[in-house]
Amino acid sequence: MICLVLTIFANIFQTGWTGPNERTFIAVKPDGVQRRLVGEIIRRFEKKGYKLVGLKLLQASEDLLREHYWELRGKPFFSGLIRYMSSGPVVAMVWQGLDVVKMSRKMLGETNPRDSPPGTIRGDYGVEVGRNVVHGSDSVASAQREIALWFRLNELHCWEDSSSHWLYA
Ligand code: UDP
Ligand code: MG
- The per-residue pLDDT for range 109-155, each reduced to its tens digit, is 999 999 999 999 999 999 999 999 999 999 999 999 999 999 999 99
pTM of the shown model: 0.95
Nearest residue (by CA) to ligand 1, atom 14, is 81
| Residues within a 6 A CB radius of ligand 1 | 72, 77, 81, 111, 129-130, 132, 135, 138
Contact 98, 168 (CB under 8 A): yes
Query: What integer pLDDT is reported at residue 60 of this predicted model?
Result: 98
Higher-confidence residue: 14 or 152? 152
Q: What is the pLDDT of residue 4?
A: 74
Which ligand 1 atom sits nearest the alpha carbon of residue 69? Answer: 16
For residue 166, report the distance from its CA to the centre of ligand 2, in Å.
32
The three-class DSSP label of residue 23 is: strand
Distance CA 138, CA 143 (A): 7
CA of 159 to the centre of ligand 1 (A): 33
